[in-house]
Each structure stands twice: as C-alpha cells, then as structure tokens.
Amino acid sequence: MKRLRIGIVGGTGYTGVELLRLLARHPHAELVAITSRKEAGMPVADLFPSLRGQIDLAFSTPDDAPLHTCDLVFFATPHGVAMAQARRLVDAGVRLIDLAADFRLQNLAEFTQWYGMEHACPELLQESVYGLPELRREAIAKARIVANPGCYPTTVQLGFAPLLRTPGLIEADHLVANCVSGVSGAGRKAEIGLLFSEASDNYKAYGVKGHRHGPEINEQLRRIAGVAPGGGAVDCLFVPHLAPMIRGMHSTLYARLTPTGQTADLQSLYAEFYAREAFVDVLPAGSVPETRSVRGANTLRLAIHRPRADTAMILVVQDNLTKGASGQAVQNMNVMFGLPETTGLDSLAVLP
C-alpha cells in the first residue's frame, strides 16, 4: 500500500515527541507536517536531538501546514484545539485521532463541567469513536474521528473489562481504581508541582474531590457492561496519584465478587479474554507487574489476585506515554487503515 501522509498538530509536548519517535520507524507513515506556533521554522531535531537523522521536517504553523492533504492528522494538543479544526479537516477527507479529550465524552453537560468549555462540533462528537482497540476494533476501523483514550482510563477499562463482560461476577456499582502516574502524565510544561525538587522523594494523591478522567472511566465502563447511557448500574471510585518517576503507570483495581464470582476461575477468564491481543499481557497467577517492564513499549501488563474470598484485585501497568497515549494512537491508526495492528509498535521495553 502507499505510504500514509501524516500530520501532527502540537508536536512539541511529550505525547507529540512520542508520536514522532514511533512514526519515524513506521514503514507505512510519511510525516508531512508537524505544527507549533511557538517553534515554527525550527527543525524538529533541534528541539528533540533524539530524532536527529530520523525526522528532517521543521515545525510549521497550523495555518501554513498542508494538513488538508493528509490521510490522517493526530492532535497532540490541549483540550479544545481538535474540535475547533475538526470540521474543516473532515470535510477535506482527512481522518483524525485526538489525543486530548475533545471527543471522549459523549455527554455534553459533563464535557462542559469538566473541561470548562462548550463543545464546538457536537454533530461530529456523535459520530466519533472511542479508540480502545481491544474493545472497539470494528468501530475504529470505520471511523473518521477517533478519541484516543486517557492514560488512566486505559488501565481501568482493560483491567475491569473481562469482569464486566461476564454477567453476574461482580457488584459493578462498587468498583475502586487506585492509580499512580509518573510526572510526564502532566505534560511538558513549567509548573511548580512538577519541578524535580517538588516531585522527587514525594508521593501524593490529587484530584481527590473529582478528576476529569472519572466521568470518562464511568461512561466507558457502562458501555463495556452494556448499560444504557446515564444508567447507574456501574460506578467506579477513581483516585489518581503522582509518583516520582518520569514515565509509567500502575493501577490497582478492586471489585467485590458475587457468590458466582467467588467460584469463578478469574485467571482463566482473563487469559482467554486477552488471548489474541498483542498488547495485553496477562501474567501468571501470583505475579506482581512493574512499571519498568513496559517502559517505552506499547504493552499493558496485568495480574489478577484474590486477597479475600469476596474481592478481586487487578494490578495493571503501562507506559503512560506509549500504550497510555501515543502508542495507542498509532495502534488506532493501524486499525483505521487496515494495517497489521502491531506495525511500527514492536519495540521492547527499556531496562534498566
């Protein structure tokens, strides 16, 4: 097949440079535009020396970039940017993957509440597809607009999905997700709480009163369980934490088992559910996954435990910038254009 013409809007952040790293080695991707208003004219390799000899483009402004000629445009931008440009690009026949939240929440009131803005194109929101390939593969393949999932929600959904897809195993209205991210999850920005002297040798919860990933998690868990929008039969208490590491994510998930669930073979359930998934690794019983085992790889690893007879505990790790963001976006691209899903994503985790 011909190489896909790819544009990236907002290529100067952590998800942007991770996209560049992955796409530079993708055999079917041709990068034709990388935008940044602030860095317009600067060679990409000058800002990111790790890409010397791999990316020859310079940053351009969104107005000057030939985005309308692309097959696909990634938005690695703050919330609100993709929806402002989506109509023009979609009308030009360009397909979109948004790594921000513009197309994740179907509930407009919740979007406005959590992101502080009105949605610019609700008609396109209705046709957008939530891009978790392991659960939405067929819809993603046909989509014009894909909403790349949040990093935390990816771990929570893939961690709970086998239990929710098998009726009668858990009390789905009492789910708990205790999740931890490295500081790169906050983006490439100057902020006091992200300074080395503030984040190092420290560990803290944040968003305890409510976090914007909470409604995304619950909306999608209800979809996985087959509950109608607005239904309340599935509910997850989500609390994020910041750990003193650059990249990585660890989620500890809890579900209360029903009498039926207490007799189920959960290890076999998970192993069979993900048996054909290239990027979900179900570890042997009793394992404890580590964040460093997925650093730089598009792999999510999980382990199932039963600390009490009535409780399932799922431990999930991923790289928040790869499977939690840009790697998953490339995985979605592969699905959208009929490529093998692993194309360009076969990098192993980096140790130590």
Active site residues: 151
The reply to whether omega before 352 is within 30° of 0 (cis) is: yes
Q: Are 328 and 148 in contact (CB under 8 A)?
A: yes
283, 287, 292, 295 alpha-carbon torsion, rounded to 10°: 10
Q: In Å, how far from its chain's centre is CA 75?
A: 13
Residue 265 burial class via C-beta count within 10 angstroms: exposed 0-12, middle 13-18, buried 19 and up: exposed
Q: Which two tokens stand for residue 38?
A: 């602030």
Contacts 24+ apart (CB under 8 A), 13-18: 13/76, 13/187, 13/188, 14/184, 14/187, 14/188, 14/321, 15/76, 15/99, 15/187, 15/321, 15/325, 15/326, 15/329, 16/76, 16/326, 17/48, 17/50, 17/51, 18/321, 18/322, 18/325, 18/326, 18/327
* CA dist., res. 341 & res. 343, Å (int): 6
Q: Are 339 and 322 in contact (CB under 8 A)?
A: no
Helix, strand, coil distribution of the chain in percent, nearest 5: 35, 20, 45
Q: Are 63 and 36 in contact (CB under 8 A)?
A: no
Phi-psi region of 318 (alpha: psi -120 to 50; beta: other; left: phi over 0): beta
Phi and psi torsions of 5, nearest 5°: -80, 120
Q: Which two tokens stand for residue 103?
A: 């197309």
